[in-house]
Amino acid sequence: TQGQVITCKAAVAWEPNKPLVIEDVQVAPPQAGEVRVKVLYTALCHTDAYTWSGKDPEGLFPCVLGHEAAGIVESVGEGVTEVQAGDHVIPCYQAECRECKFCKSGKTNLCGKVRAATGVGVMMNDRKSRFSINGKPIYHFMGTSTFSQYTVVHDVSVAKIDPVAPLEKVCLLGCGVPTGLGAVWNTAKVEPGSIVAVFGLGTVGLAVAEGAKAAGASRIIGIDIDSKKFDRAKNFGVTEFINPKEHEKPIQQVIVDLTDGGVDYSFECIGNVSVMRAALECCHKGWGTSVIVGVAASGQEISTRPFQLVTGRVWKGTAFGGFKSRSQVPTLVDKYLKKEIKVDEYITHNMTLTDINKAFDLMHDGECLRVVLDM
């Protein structure tokens, strides 16, 4: 198949909110600096649902969504040296070129090399898509587009991993789990003994709890409007649970009262701007740090009294938990193989690509964390 167009199945989002359609798509061969990957397993993340909803200013239609996956390199384009056909890989929506201003700064995991193209659904070389249906181009998404049996990604957006790792599990290391762990370890740098608050106990929030437990946090307060989330959350390290619906006072006040003035670190893992405010304001005066992880819709803005920051609270955000993707995803895979981090526990459902619309429906069900699709 090297050098040839591959026709395969992909779930195409033709329009916002309209059911995805399994189509025969043509996937062009990789050009210079590109890699064509046979996607074997993909999970669904709430960011896919967000873009599908039409509220993402970078969402373009028609497109192939999906960004949490694992597969095997089918072929590589000219000049690609770090991966070859047969390598097991995880596509990375956050690239790492090791050459740009961002990569060399030592201050961020963001990479500037291909971001301009991935934000508008095309490849960097010719600013065109490698996906088409009978000649009509279909946009890429986040530089990954894993809801397709084959996808083309930039070589800076693919992490080579240990081939013994089960791809049906480690696909989760493409987004949600690293995001939560890294928010704690890289962005907040939680110290032993810290009091932590986690808003939203989905996959990302539970990974925050897992990361905080590993970092030695003394209390991990989980906040969710769905009380059913608590039992499971205990297994990920949450020590106390608060449902804001069961309190009359604003949730930040409830937390400040429970913690002798506020928490050391808080994490917003929902994407709700009023919760982001509460997460900042439940932090301790003088040092409390709040990390925004959730993605909020176009047009939404955060607010608080500047006095909150004047008096020492810090507001931060994180993308992919601050992990450098190509360098650190393989390390996370190794940590999973050594049983140092959980992955299996976040997978609540297994389905096939043909059931993708049902899989998205399941995401609204409180029991569901990650659905993994067998392609």
Listed ranges 7-15, 35-43, 53-61, 240-248: which one lies at the site for ligand AHE (CB under 6 A): 53-61
Q: Which of 85, 225, 337, 351 binds ligand NAD (CB under 6 A)?
A: 225
Closest CA to 30 of 134, 158, 153: 153
Q: Residue 162, SS3?
A: coil
179 binds ligand NAD (CB under 6 A): yes
Closest distance of CB 180 from ligand AHE, Å? 11
Site track 166-185 with Zn ion (rule: CB under 5 A), x = hit? ---------x----------
The neighbour count for residue 327, using CB atoms within 10 Å, is: 13
146 binds ligand AHE (CB under 6 A): no
Q: Which of 199, 236, 323, 360 binds ligand NAD (CB under 6 A)?
A: 199
The neighbour count for residue 32, using CB atoms within 10 Å, is: 13
Q: Which of 73, 175, 292, 373 binds ligand AHE (CB under 6 A)?
A: 175
| Pairwise CA distance, residues 290 & 266, whole Å | 5
| C-beta pairs of 351-354 under 8 Å, 24+ apart in sequence | 353/9, 353/11, 353/22, 353/42, 353/147, 353/149, 354/22
96 binds ligand AHE (CB under 6 A): no
| Residue with nearest beta carbon to Zn ion | 45
Residue 318 and residue 76 in contact, taking contact as beta carbons nearer than 8 Å: no
94 binds ligand AHE (CB under 6 A): yes
144 binds ligand NAD (CB under 6 A): no
Q: Which of 11, 13, 45, 206 binds Zn ion (CB under 5 A)?
A: 45
Closest distance of CB 98 from ligand AHE, Å? 17
| Pairwise CA distance, residues 261 & 50, whole Å | 35
Question: What angle is formed at CA 199 by the lines to CA 119 and CA 234, rounded to 5 degrees?
Answer: 120
- Across-strand partners of 75? 36
Give the CB-side neighbour count of residue 113, counting CA atoms within 13 A: 21
Site track 132-171 with Zn ion (rule: CB under 5 A), x = hit? ----------------------------------------
Site track 310-339 with ligand AHE (rule: CB under 6 A), x = hit? ---------xx-------------------
- Residues annotated as catalytic are 45-47, 67-68, 97, 100, 103, 111, 115, 175, 370
| Pairwise CA distance, residues 293 & 277, whole Å | 13
| Pairwise CA distance, residues 60 & 69, whole Å | 21
The contact set with ligand AHE (CB under 6 A) reads: 45, 47, 56-58, 94, 110, 115, 175, 295, 319-320
